[in-house]
Amino acid sequence: MDPTYCDPSLTDGLQAMLQNSRIALSIADGQQDDFPLVGVNEAFCTLTGYRPETVLNRNCRFLQPEGGAGPVRERMRQFLKDPKQEQEKFVIPNETADGRRFLNLVYMAKLFRDNQLCYILGSQFDATRGKTPALSLYEDALKEDIRRYNLLADDTGWVMLGSFDALANSHALIASSKLDRAEPEASS
């Protein structure tokens, strides 16, 4: 993967997941207070119009329109603070780099290693696309990603069912597996 798309500390598995997914994905550092982005993929850059070097190390709130995103921001904050809540979905008003407004359907999932929050995986989709059935397109793209990761699911024993929520959260399962399989860092 192009090194400008993610922090080199991300595991090879997480980097490959970002690179291979057609879904707009972002990964935020779950151990820093403001949850800055440490990885995005090409689909995220296409959706938002932002280049990777302008989004990495920033919180995703730069996507919100002037004046903020309304009450959904508080729900997102609560999700991030609540250790019992591992995943949630939100519809949030956002703006692309050129100022076009869109409704962003965001699935957020917390990724843990050794019971410590490491990352927040965000999966985004423009829910305001014109005449196309946006949610259907999103589900189709997720199904394609699931097909590509079928071997991983078989290896770990996960069973992925066809419901929309199960498909939407599949990236979190895959990312968790890739995080768990990472080689532990050597101590100096």
Domains in the chain and their CATH numbers? 3-180 (3.30.450.20)
- Above 70 in pLDDT, residue 165? no
Task: Determine contact, residues 147/167, Cβ cutoff 8 Å.
Answer: no
**Which pLDDT value is given to residue 174?**
61
How far lies 149's CA from each of 19, 35, 48, 138, in Å? Answer: 13, 27, 25, 17
How far lies 111's CA from each of 64, 85, 93, in Å? Answer: 24, 11, 25
**Which pLDDT value is given to residue 152?**
43
* Highest-confidence segment of 10-19, 39-48, 130-139, 161-170: 39-48
Q: Band the pLDDT of 62: cuts 50, 70, 90.
A: very high
pTM for the predicted model, two decimal places: 0.72
- Above 70 in pLDDT, residue 70? yes
Give the Cα separation of 176 and 45 in Å (integer): 23
Among 117-121, 122-126, 149-153, where is mean pLDDT lowest? 149-153
Residue 97 structure tokens: 């780099």
